[in-house]
A and B are shown apart, each in its own frame.
Chain A
Amino acid sequence: MRRGLTVVISVAAVVVSTISFVAPAQAVGNNRTVSRGCGKNYVSSSRYSEGGGWAQTQKQSGDCKGRLSAALQLSSGYRTPRVYGSNLSAFDSTDLGVVVNGLHWGCDNCDLTTS
């Protein structure tokens, strides 16, 4: 009985973490910690008062390999070029247009996370 309960709890935990990982995009500034199997990254973004904005992907903990990257999604549909940083941080900024979301990748072929 105890073993059954443990399995249910572990499945529930994985389901919750999976759901939070693919949560729908919100407006720019949805800054938060994103967990990967190998560690955690902090994704953040903001708009400038006179247009444009910035996005940053930062390593928070763990030993993930590969480099972080960041870009910006504009309301026009255009994206700024993806900026590849180090395994510690990647940053992008634009004065162009209305920033809808920060775009973040924990590695080159990791799934896109928005902030």
Chain B
Amino acid sequence: MMFRRLTSLSVSLFFLMAACLSCGEAIPDAETKMEAKAQAWALDDGVVTPLEYRAAVEKFVSCLTTSGYNAAIVSLSPIDNLTWLTHLVPSGDPTVYNTQVQRCNLASLSGIEPKYVESHVQVMEESLRPRVRECLSARGVKTTGSETNAPQFNVSAGEATGAVVECILKTARDRHPDLPPVITIRM
């Protein structure tokens, strides 16, 4: 009887441990430590300046080009006036490319970019805002008329994220045809 109870307990503990391993609290791993070390030059004082962020984007692009990939900085995003948009051209073996992009990301940008962008207020280019409203209205999504950035449009639209994203991207691309294929929006 005692043995059966102990066995049941062991089984339940095993499953609990398995569940905790897959969904528990984050523990810094090798990649996270590497990222912290590589980006300490900009992160250690707790503030990322515009120049430091720009330098980090340049490091990211340089990391990829020296690895043989075609990459370039395009422009400051008209969607938030904070994020530097880059154009990366995938080539070669996808697994090798994906791994190298993530390596370069962790070595240069992954901590600095969110730290910079998340600590500033996004301001969407003024000419885009009425067009985003028109686009949303045509889809039956109401706005207040006072939104100045993507998160505010998302709140006004009642979290109709798909419509908000598509309208913002369509409007931005209509006004700026040279924007790269991959665009980061923070909402």
Contacts and interface: CB of A to CB of B under 8 A. Distances in A.
Interface string B149-187: 000000000000110011001000100000001111111
Interface stretch (B23-31, B120-128, B131-139): B23-31
Contacts, number: 131
B16 interface: yes
A80 B88 CA distance: 9
Contact of B182 (A11, A56, A81): A81
Interface in B88-107: 88, 90, 94-95, 97-98, 101-102, 105
Nearest to B110: A84
Interface size class of B (residues with CB under 8 A): 35 or more
Contact of B22 (A8, A21, A64): A21
Interface string A96-115: 10000000001111110000
A93 B165 contact: yes
Given A81-B105, A91-B184, A11 B11 contact: yes
A84 B187 contact: no
A86 B24 contact: no
B94 A76 contact: yes
B185 A93 contact: yes
Interface string A73-85: 0001111111111
B130 interface: no
Interface string A15-32: 101100110000000000
A3 B8 CA distance: 10
Interface in A47-99: 48, 52, 54, 56, 64-67, 76-86, 89, 91-96
A93 B184 contact: yes
Contacts of A46: 162
A14 B182 contact: no
B15 A38 contact: no
Contacts of A91: 165, 184-187
A2 B165 CA distance: 53
A109 B101 contact: no
Contacts of B186: 85-86, 89, 91
B51 interface: no
B94 A83 contact: no
Nearest to A96: B181
Contacts of A17: 19
A72 to B, nearest CB: 8
8 contacts: A22-B22, A37-B23, A48-B166, A48-B169, A54-B161, A54-B162, A78-B94, A109-B29
